[in-house]
Amino acid sequence: MVPRLEECADGTTVLTGDLNSSTVSALYSSSQPVFRTDSDMVIDLKTANDVDSAGVALLVEWVRRARARNCRLRFRAMSTQLEDLIRVYGVDHLLQANH
């Protein structure tokens, strides 16, 4: 499933689709407008599927982008698979989830 970011009325951004090496390049490009804001962000990952190391790398890049703008980026509703990958790669301190 092709991933996409959808901004919701409550200010949350929802990520839907696969988050893997086949899709992150396109998602990286399409996410540029989302990170032009100067306010804190929440990305809901409840409908993110098929996550691999490339997906984790993209999340780290998004955190880097947010920090460069002095914004806080939080993630909500991570899958157990994604939380496990984040721990394995040692980036859990960067990608803390709000449950």
Whole-number mean pLDDT of the chain? Answer: 89
Q: What is the pLDDT of residues 51-76, one digit of tens each?
A: 999 999 999 999 999 999 898 999 99
Distance in angstroms between the alpha carbons of the first and the last residue of the chain: 24
pTM for this predicted structure: 0.89
Q: 4-98 sits in which CATH class? A: alpha beta
Closest CA to 50 of 98, 99, 2: 2
Q: What percentage of the chain carries pLDDT values higher than 70?
A: 97
Q: Can you give the pLDDT at residue 99?
A: 52
In contact, 95 and 60? CB cutoff 8 Å: yes
Domain ranges of the chain: 4-98
Q: Which of 31-40, 41-50, 79-88 has the lowest mean pLDDT?
A: 31-40
